[in-house]
Structure 1
């Protein structure tokens, strides 16, 4: 993989900055531009990473220097830029979730038909060694047939306030979609019906639930029970607290990350549980699952391979989120058609 691709990042918030930094560090990427409506932030990152700053993504749509674009905009702003970049021949890595609704997902799928570009939704946990190893174990039949999947993911309350309240975005779209997409990836069954409940004590409004629990019944008899929240206090020392259990007919897989994880540091300020899987800094460079994801996508473009995360799987995760929100609103189980 000796070819070098011109890259750009649209949206330079928390995750977009990390995309840009990785593109500036890996050998097969030349970071051409970062794009953000916040001119000061875009220019600051451009100065740091040695690239161009732009303030409107339309200014780089037909830039001949750019081959690959990471779109790291808020969840409700994915459709138009994803289609426009693909139509202009740019390979697109779109941050999860694919969109807010299956209607928007279908608009993207229809809009990029015939473009012949590589397109992948950034479901990061496919590249986390814990979850990828679990998938391998399941595929090899090491735990037999899945009986149940139980997961819980707790995000920080600052994310709930900044992303959920400000952007009117559900905790399911921002936090829960990680585990729902994983459950769909692990399961061999098809979604039969879903049921959900939520609690709202700290964050106002139906779109920004404190905690949300969903139950998925698959047509093979197995089920997944998944909790998602973003009201964990920022002082917890971890960006996320997450765990998952996969029980099979012949074995069990347990996964854990976040609070009490594999690295614990105690100082006079209290406990710290640094991330060592998703984007740890090693010898000055970002490593971990996010780097693996971006390198994988670059390799797919260079070697003309199919991206690991399928567009159909990303769409199905959004569909399940839609069904769960409908169940919560109606107070009854909802069947998948």
Structure 2
């Protein structure tokens, strides 16, 4: 195709390799290069997908129209800013950056340069999310659970930015209202940052979400329950199944006959393929991404509120008489 979009992938680790794979298979894209400071890894991924290995992300400037940024979160801002300044459309893996301030800076810069900035909140591109969004209206309360066994990958950020941010973004996509308040608890378990977290998120509309994320479980589970007026839905995001109840009459007169059950089997799709196809479409047409920089920044703002609330609770716990930290504070040095 003569009108193929020239793309590159910056970062060839776990997620970057998947990005390269999907670009190499998408007819709208021409994978020009993959980039990694680890030359051996860059060469291996380049050879796998028939493209050129590069070792400095700035070398793609002038050679591509778009790129995925799949480096560690701590490097997102450093890598993304000069690429946006050069007019390159970007798909940045979630979270958009480490801080709300840097996220908004990238967002404003992309708007000024008139380039596409999409954030890789992959659940928004899943068939389960699409089905759930089509079935609910005016939600009142959410419960979500995203738990997984411990992995060394991704521990450069806490569980809020690693796992919970998926559910934060999904729920914010389903609730047409801004988050007002957050109350959260959490703790490190196996790592140095928060590994287990629970947050109660209240929206200005009055909708409430109770969100739990853990990366110290024996099993993997991704489930979301939604309560709305005359409706309840339970979505298993992992299995692709939704079941629930819907009020169809007057239960005081008709009993159980007034309550209908519903079950939806969702056809599984490759969510990353959907995400990349959507990104390429936005680059080609100028459409606004489903998860643009402002949506990514807002999800990060809520994640920061959750972290602040957790730290406030932990400070109280540490100061409590009898806690390990309080007990050791009064002991003489050995």
Q: Is the TM value for this pair above 0.5?
A: yes
Q: Distance between the aligned counterparts of 1:197 and 1:19, measured in 2?
A: 34
For 1:241, which of 221, 233, 249 is the aligned residue?
Answer: 221
Secondary structure of residue in 1 paired with 2:113: coil
In structure 2, the residue matched to 1:83 is 81
Query: Is the Cα–Cα contact under 8 Å of residues 79 and 107 in structure 1 kept in the other structure?
Result: no
Q: Distance between the aligned counterparts of 1:255 and 1:20, measured in 2?
A: 30
In structure 2, the residue matched to 1:31 is 31
Deviations 1:92-142 (A, max 9, x none): 11111111111111221233342111111111111101111211223xx3x
Pairing 1:11-90 to 2, within 5 Å after superposition: 11-63=11-63, 66-90=64-88
In structure 2, the residue matched to 1:97 is 95
Tell me the CA shift for residue 262 of structure 1. Answer: 6.1
Query: Is the Cα–Cα contact under 8 Å of residues 107 and 117 in structure 2 kept in the other structure?
Result: no
1:172 is the counterpart of 2:160:
yes
Q: Distance between the aligned counterparts of 1:55 and 1:107, measured in 2?
A: 26
Query: Is the Cα–Cα contact under 8 Å of residues 110 and 116 in structure 2 kept in the other structure?
Result: no
Tell me the CA shift for residue 3 of structure 1. Answer: 2.8
Tell me the CA shift for residue 33 of structure 1. Answer: 0.4
Deviations 1:193-219 (A, max 9, x none): 101111333x132xx222110110112
Query: Is the Cα–Cα contact under 8 Å of residues 224 and 237 in structure 2 kept in the other structure?
Result: no
Tell me the CA shift for residue 2 of structure 1. Answer: 7.8
Inter-CA distance 2–309: structure 2 relative to 1 (3 Å threshold): farther
Q: Distance between the aligned counterparts of 1:151 and 1:35, measured in 2?
A: 36
Structure 2: where are the runs of 5+ without partners? Answer: 242-266, 315-334
**TM-score, normalised on structure 2?**
0.82
In structure 2, the residue matched to 1:293 is 275
In structure 1, the residue matched to 2:106 is 108
Tell me the CA shift for residue 317 of structure 1. Answer: 0.5
For 2:206, which of 221, 239, 248 is the aligned residue?
Answer: 221
Q: Distance between the aligned counterparts of 1:112 and 1:119, measured in 2?
A: 6
Structure 1: where are the runs of 5+ without partners? Answer: 264-275, 278-286, 333-337
In structure 2, the residue matched to 1:150 is 143
For 2:232, which of 252, 261, 264 is the aligned residue?
Answer: 252
Pairing 1:320-335 to 2, within 5 Å after superposition: 320-331=302-313
1:181 is the counterpart of 2:161:
no
In structure 2, the residue matched to 1:280 is none
**TM-score, normalised on structure 1?**
0.81
Pairing 1:245-284 to 2, within 5 Å after superposition: 245-258=225-238, 261=239, 277=268
Q: Distance between the aligned counterparts of 2:32 and 2:65, measured in 1?
A: 10
Secondary structure of residue in 1 paired with 2:288: coil
Q: Distance between the aligned counterparts of 2:6 and 2:205, measured in 1?
A: 45
| Equivalent pairs, count | 289
Q: Distance between the aligned counterparts of 1:146 and 1:173, measured in 2?
A: 24
Secondary structure of residue in 1 paired with 2:233: strand
Query: Is the Cα–Cα contact under 8 Å of residues 107 and 294 in structure 2 kept in the other structure?
Result: no
Secondary structure of residue in 2 paired with 1:69: strand
Tell me the CA shift for residue 291 of structure 1. Answer: 0.3
In structure 1, the residue matched to 2:153 is 162
Secondary structure of residue in 2 paired with 1:156: coil
Tell me the CA shift for residue 308 of structure 1. Answer: 1.5
Q: Distance between the aligned counterparts of 1:162 and 1:25, measured in 2?
A: 26
